[in-house]
C-alpha cells in the first residue's frame, strides 16, 4: 500500500455489498475504481469520494470491458492494490426446475466473470509484486440447501479455483481472500434474485426456500457496512485467512457443515481406505 492509500477495483458497485465496500474504502482514505454495467448509477459514490473515485462501465461477461476497466484503473491511479469480484445475483429453483440458459448466464457472471477479472489484473499484480484479490463468495460457497443449487454451484466453483489461485500467486506476494457472508441486508432477495419455473412435485423440498426468499429483503441479520469494515480489517492483518465468514449465520452454518463432513469421513473411513492398489 502506498502513502496515498490503497487503490481498489470493485465490480458490482451499483447496489448492495459492492457499494458498501466502495464507501468503506473511501472512508479509509483509499482510492476506488467503482464499476457497474450502468455507471450513471454511481453518482453518489463520486460525490462521496470526489477526486478519489473514478467510474467505468463493466459487464464482467464482456472481456473487452474487463480489460479496459483494469487498464483504466492503472492509468488513473498508477496501480491496483485490491481487486474485488463482487458482481452477481441470486437464483432459486430445484435442479430440475432450472433452465440451462439461465444457469449458464449465472455461471458466466458469478464464475467466469470473476475469473476473467482475475486473469486480467494478475499481470499488473505480478509486476507490482503484491496486491489482494477478494472473491466475494457466500456461506453458500460451502453449504447448500434445496432450491439454491445453481447459486451455490457458482460459489463452490469460485472457491475451488480461488483456493488453487492462492497457492499459485503467493510467490509473487499476492494474496487471495475468499469472503463468505451470511444473509446481508441488501436487495439480494428482490429483483436481483432469479426465480425458476415451479414444478409442484418439488414443493415439499423447495417451498420453504422460495418462501424465505420472498420475505428476505429487510429482514436479513447481516449488516453490510460492518461486513465491509471487517474486510478492511483483514486486509491490514499480517496473517490474513484464506476464508473469512461474515455473520453468525455464516459461522454457524459452515461449522455445522464441517461437523457433518467429518462425521461421514470418520464413519466410512475404513471402507474408503480399501481402494488403493496393493
Grid cell locating 76: 488513473
Q: Which of 19, 28, 158, 25 is nearest to 82 (CA)?
A: 25
- Taking the CB of residue 168, how many other CB atoms lie within 10 A of it? 12
DSSP code per residue over 123-139: HHHHHHT-EEEEEE--G
Alpha carbon distance 73, 31 (integer Å) = 10
Distances 225 to 5, 159, 186 between C-alpha atoms, Å = 20, 23, 10
Could you give the maximum distance between any two Cα atoms of the chain, in Å?
68
Distances 209 to 12, 55, 118, 185, 212 between C-alpha atoms, Å = 25, 36, 32, 17, 5
Contact residues for 74 (Cβ-Cβ < 8 A; gap 6+) = 80, 124
3-state helix, strand, coil in the chain (%, to 5): 55, 15, 30
Active site residues: 137, 151, 155
**Would you say 19 and 45 are in contact if contact means Cβ atoms under 8 Å apart?**
yes
Q: Which of 184, 150, 19, 47 is nearest to 11 (CA)?
A: 19
Amino acid at each position: 500500500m502506498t502513502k496515498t492509500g490503497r487503490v481498489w477495483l470493485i465490480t458490482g458497485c451499483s447496489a448492495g455489498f459492492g457499494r458498501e465496500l466502495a464507501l468503506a474504502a473511501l472512508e479509509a482514505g483509499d482510492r476506488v475504481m467503482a464499476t457497474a454495467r450502468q455507471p450513471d448509477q454511481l453518482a453518489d459514490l463520486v460525490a462521496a469520494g470526489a477526486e478519489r473515485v473514478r467510474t467505468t462501465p463493466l459487464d464482467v461477461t464482456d472481456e473487452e470491458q474487463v480489460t479496459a476497466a483494469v487498464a483504466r484503473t492503472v492509468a488513473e491511479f498508477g496501480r491496483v492494490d485490491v481487486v474485488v469480484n463482487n458482481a452477481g445475483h441470486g437464483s432459486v429453483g430445484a435442479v430440475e426446475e432450472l433452465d440451462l440458459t439461465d444457469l449458464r448466464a449465472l455461471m458466466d457472471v458469478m464464475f467466469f466473470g470473476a475469473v476473467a477479472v482475475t486473469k486480467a489484473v494478475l499481470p499488473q499484480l505480478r509486476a507490482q509484486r503484491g496486491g489482494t484479490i477478494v472473491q466475494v463468495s457466500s456461506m453458500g460457497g460451502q453449504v447448500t440447501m434445496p432450491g439454491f443449487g445453481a447459486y451455490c454451484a457458482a460459489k463452490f466453483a469460485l472457491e475451488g479455483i480461488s483456493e488453487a489461485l492462492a497457492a499459485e500467486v503467493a510467490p509473487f506476494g499476492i494474496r487471495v481472500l475468499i469472503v463468505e457472508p451470511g444473509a446481508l441486508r441488501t436487495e439480494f432477495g428482490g429483483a436481483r434474485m432469479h426465480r425458476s419455473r415451479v414444478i409442484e412435485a418439488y414443493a415439499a423440498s423447495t417451498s420453504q426456500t422460495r418462501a424465505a426468499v420472498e420475505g428476505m429483503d429487510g429482514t436479513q441479520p447481516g449488516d453490510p457496512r460492518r461486513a465491509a469494515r471487517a474486510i478492511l480489517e483483514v486486509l491490514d492483518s499480517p496473517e490474513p485467512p484464506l476464508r473469512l465468514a461474515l455473520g453468525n449465520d455464516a459461522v454457524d452454518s459452515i461449522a455445522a457443515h464441517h461437523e457433518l463432513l467429518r462425521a461421514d469421513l470418520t464413519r466410512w473411513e475404513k471402507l474408503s481406505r480399501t481402494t488403493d492398489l496393493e
